Amino acid sequence: MNFIRLYTSAMSMKIIVTIFTIIPMLYLFTNTLKASGDIYNVEMQLLLIASYIFCALSDVKYLFLLIIQSLASFISGICINKYPRYAKIILFFSIGINLSMLGFYKYYNFFVENINNLISHISGFSSIPLLQIMLPVGISFYTFQNIGYIIDVFRKTTSPCTDIINYGLFASFFPKFIAGPIERSSNLLCQISLPRTINIVSLVDGLYLILWGYFQKFVIADNISVICKKIFLLENPSFFILCAGAFAFTIQIFSDFSGYTDLARGYAKLLGFDLLKNFNNPYFATSPSDFWRRWHMSLSQWIRDYIYIPLGGSRVSTIKWIIVLFITFSITGLWHGASWNFILWGLYYWLLYLLYRGWNAFVPGFIKNLRYGTLVSIPLMFIFTNLGWLIFKETDSAYLWKYFTISIYDWDSAQLLPAVYLICYTFIYSLPLFIVSVFMFCRENGANLTFYNRVYFKIVLIPLLLLSILLFKSTKSSEFIYFNF
């Protein structure tokens, strides 16, 4: 019964589409893994059809939106290369098409609602109507991917794609379609343009990533989400109950999003593709800048390369750097959703950057370079990250204000025990994630742990992960959090 529930979960359509797209992979495999041109073309066409079916499963009309944006970007790339004299005009036109569609579907009601509130406050009435718009799945991800491609062609760091099938697949490749990673043409498009081979290593790696992704989602994130829902429904949570809720959401959002990314990377590996890594132990970060080098890496690198650095980055004066950073984090927050809490979340990290820069400027070097300084900097940054996720989660400004004005003395012994229980409950479910994170942290700092990459080790882990999913999967599955972005 648990096995059936697993396949009827929120990710069941991904499995169905994978079965459909695995046909060309098997076809390649039976041909001794050496694809001829004809077979390669058939494979690309089948993968594109499968990706479009995957998109149409949410709402078929949004498939046309995806196709329009893909065609506009594809044609713009060719025109930029063919007509360099008008390259800048074509670039702005293409970016405008992509951003206008993203802006209309994701932000129209947000801006209209705020304009109406302002007009109502001034004149007592408002007249701009709101629209019933459903957010197209994956639009934030494939819009940024299209824009990145066009800018790369304009900068001549990548060659324009001349095959409409290949570019269509680059824009819509189903494993990463809903929640990334945001791919670069230098990575995914190059792989699409060349025939690939499938071997036992990539198959084992893919299956391991899929099961580890399911484990993070169904065992860790979904079980912990029960705590989050109960705590954040409370009218007046105590300080320590709120701390337990913030800690639970911190673990939930990481295992939820990281789980999806590993699923995407795993399914892509089964088809011979390597998607970008999206996480690198973000909760072991020592500073805000270190956190953004580790969290949602495909987005943070995209914003760094296409917004932060073009605006001047860290090479400008201090005052201008503060303004550039403000713009960068405002966009980062707004990208996540049409709500003020996301903008505040982005600006929260802007303030953290300023605080940490001030710290580095005025604190003596011997203090910053203490041998065991990470034993302080990592927990401190983890606390700051928890506070940030509290802003990220709460869309009601009244409740958000209440959370940040709760006194540490607002508790009694009757509330302390449930808070300790909830924190322990969260830690127990997140223990496998913690062990993996410590293991990766040790590797990052020079420990010789090469056995992790060996095939036989993952072959042993695969049945253990599958058994753990079947035994400990939450009975209340929830949608992936980043499906909403």
State the catalytic residues.
Answer: 336
CA–CA separation, 85 and 89 (whole Å): 9
Assigned token pair, 453: 């990459």
C-alpha distances in Å from residue 87, one per residue of 150, 160, 282: 10, 13, 38
Span between the terminal Cα atoms of the chain, in Å: 32
Residue 127 three-state SS: coil
Q: Which residues, 6 or more positions from 215, have their beta carbon under 8 angstroms from its beta carbon?
A: 259, 432, 465, 468, 469
CA–CA separation, 256 and 227 (whole Å): 14
Could you tell me which of 253, 280, 212 has the C-alpha nearest to residue 391? 253
CA–CA separation, 458 and 463 (whole Å): 9
- 440, with CB counted inside 10 A (0-12, 13-18, 19+), is middle
Decide: 156 and 63 in contact? Cβ < 8 Å.
no
Decide: 240 and 251 in contact? Cβ < 8 Å.
no
- The residue count of the chain comes to 485
- 370, with CB counted inside 10 A (0-12, 13-18, 19+), is exposed
Residue 6 three-state SS: helix
Q: What is the CA radius of gyration of the chain?
A: 24
Q: Cis link prior to 463 (omega < 30° from 0)?
A: no
DSSP-assigned letter for residue 481: G
CA quadruple 438, 440, 444, 450: dihedral, nearest 10 = 120
Q: Which residues, 6 or more positions from 351, have their beta carbon under 8 angstroms from its beta carbon?
A: none
